[in-house]
Amino acid sequence: MPLFKSLSPPRAELLIELGKEEFDLGETLEGSVVLKCLEDFDVQSVNVDLVGRERVKGTLLDYSGDDQTRIYSPVNSLARTARPVEIELLMHSNPAPASGPFKASKDYSGRFQFRFFIPSHLGPSYQGGRQDGSWLQRTWAVKATVAVAGRPDLETIKEIRVSIPKPKAQEAAGVGLRIIDAVFEGVKIPEEARRFASGMGQQAMMMQYMKETASELKDSQGGGAAAAGLGAGVGLGMPFILAQQMGQAGAQMPQQVVICPSCGAKNPVNTKFCGNCGSSLMPPSKQACPSCKAEVPENFKFCPNCGTPIKKPEQPVCPKCGEKNPPGTKFCGNCGEKLA
């Protein structure tokens, strides 16, 4: 009996709770894992993973297609040449720990929060045909695992739907107002119009008044000199008025920000690291694919154009001080020793 018990998972309920079940590419997914125990056992860790998978059935002739049907996962050379009837690809996996080890007692109930960023460059949920005649199924799911000491782990999976974000123009296409019958009882002046009337509008009216006054002085007896002086005052004051208005307009311009690719937080321009999650905001450097010579970001393991594995260039280590140097460096940047 103890042997049978050790080979079975503990009696407990494991649930995944999400605010919704439909998300867009590039959106942040937040939720929680709920663990309810019916017996005592030792928990080693609680992990949550955002998993995206692709399955292709039929003869896979190429990897073409639109945003819905394109293959995003790397395919090895064996799968490419053998043309299998069905292949399954792991498109995305990002496991993250939600809790460390603890002792779970009977009647224990715990909630563990998690947060994921759905990459915007991957494929949405899809099931249907491709341009090459094959059949494609792409699924997204949240997987929760409770690692148990000396016994099988507890697992649960909740499938979600991921879509391509709609363009803003398309979202606003169905928004409108149709007036059937209306009676206007008054007009409320917006705050922007009030600011215009109190600032730039007043100066424009003052300039118009000075122009009309100068014209009247010119037509009156002995008013030519006064009109000329008033006209000169308007001309000299014009640059200062325009400069003041341009300064006010510049102060009201929205501040430019940089969006973090990991968590989506807004950061000031020229910031190198995200102030919310600490991820780098600098664009990844690129290197040439050894097979097709296409430019590939440095953090990619496979070429998105031909699927060739990308090997990172080795960093030469200084034989004198042990410092790692950038690829192609001939002398150590720390001590000046010549590198082999």
> Where do the domains of the chain lie?
2-165, 257-302, 310-340
Pick the CATH number of 2-165 from 1.20.120.530, 2.60.40.640, 1.10.4190.10, 1.10.10.10: 2.60.40.640
Q: Are 151 and 41 in contact (CB under 8 A)?
A: yes
Q: Is 217 helix (H, G, I), strand (E, B) or coil?
A: helix
pTM of the predicted structure, to 2 decimals: 0.48
Q: Are 160 and 142 in contact (CB under 8 A)?
A: yes
Dist. CA 269–CA 256, nearest whole Å: 6
Q: Are 31 and 111 in contact (CB under 8 A)?
A: no
Dist. CA 194–CA 261, nearest whole Å: 40
Where do we find the tokens 């080890």? 101
Q: Are 37 and 88 in contact (CB under 8 A)?
A: no
Q: Is 56 helix (H, G, I), strand (E, B) or coil?
A: strand
Q: Which two tokens stand for residue 12?
A: 């407990």
Measured CA to CA in angstroms, residue 222 lies from 211, 212, 217, 231 at distances of 17, 17, 8, 15
Amino acid at 212: E
316: alpha, beta or left? (left if phi > 0; alpha if psi -120 to 50) = beta
Measured CA to CA in angstroms, residue 124 lies from 10, 140, 208, 302 at distances of 35, 8, 60, 20
Could you read off the pLDDT tens digit of each residue along the chain, which spans 340 residues?
344 445 789 999 999 999 999 999 999 999 999 999 999 999 999 999 999 998 888 766 666 677 788 877 666 655 555 455 678 888 899 999 999 999 999 999 999 999 999 999 888 999 988 777 788 899 999 999 999 988 999 999 999 999 998 886 655 555 666 666 666 566 666 666 666 555 556 566 666 666 666 666 555 554 455 445 545 554 555 555 555 655 554 555 567 888 888 888 888 888 888 888 888 887 777 778 888 888 877 777 788 788 788 777 777 888 888 888 877 778 887 888 888 7
Dist. CA 103–CA 35, nearest whole Å: 13
Dist. CA 288–CA 263, nearest whole Å: 28
Q: Are 39 and 179 in contact (CB under 8 A)?
A: no
